[in-house]
Amino acid sequence: MHAIDFQKNFFELFGLPERYRLDRADLSQRYRALQNEVHPDKFSHRPESERRLSMQWATQVNEAYQTLGDPVRRGRYLLLQRGVDTQEETNTAMPPDFLMQQMEWREAIEEAVQARDAAALTDMETRLQHEMHELEARLAVKIDEEGDYPAAAGDVRKLRFMEKLAEQIASAFDGLDG
């Protein structure tokens, strides 16, 4: 067994290029291989120090996998690696058309909930997923090809807004079921 180097970034840990675009199946395969190598159960018969270290390795591998597997977290992480803070907590400025769209989404969700219209929610969920995928594709171009990190930070913030909308839609579905 070779040790996990805690100095490696998450991409290096998985042996992946530092890019926004990644193959999720490849990431999962590499994750399983690393987890198999460092899983604490494999160290149950080893000295306490090795058991503790395996727990730290497993935690590092899990954190890296969760970060790289999530589009918003991966974008945020890549930008931080390049010295760019997405300022999601402090910079809430968004283009007016994007904000209007957000308000329209929220109103449409509320109307669908009031009408108990699951079909409308399903349609919104499908459209939102499509828009999120388009934004992720633009984010990949800005990070991987253009190196336009300030614009990419704005897109990460937009994607986070859209994630919140997706959570709102999921919650609305739960409300219809209850």
The reported pLDDT for the residue numbered 176 is 79
pLDDT at 161 over 50: yes
Q: How confident is the model at residue 178 (pLDDT cuts 50, 70, 90)?
A: low
Tokens of 121: 């929610």
Tokens of 79: 């930008």
Nearest residue to 62 (alpha-carbon basis) of 10, 12, 25: 10
Torsion of CA 10, 16, 17, 22, to 10 degrees: -100
The Cα–Cα gap between 60 and 103 comes to: 38
Which domain covers residue 119, as residue numbers? 96-177
- Mark whether 62 and 102 lie in a shared domain: no
Residue 113's domain is classified under what CATH number?
A: 1.20.1280.20
- Mark whether 57 and 120 lie in a shared domain: no
pTM as predicted: 0.85
Lowest average pLDDT, out of 1-5, 138-142, 144-148, 159-163, goes to: 1-5
The Cα–Cα gap between 139 and 151 comes to: 9
- Mark whether 172 and 103 lie in a shared domain: yes
Between 62 and 49, residue with greater pLDDT: 62
Count of domains observed in the chain: 2
Tokens of 170: 């999921």
pLDDT at 174 over 90: no
Lowest average pLDDT, out of 83-87, 123-127, 130-134, goes to: 83-87
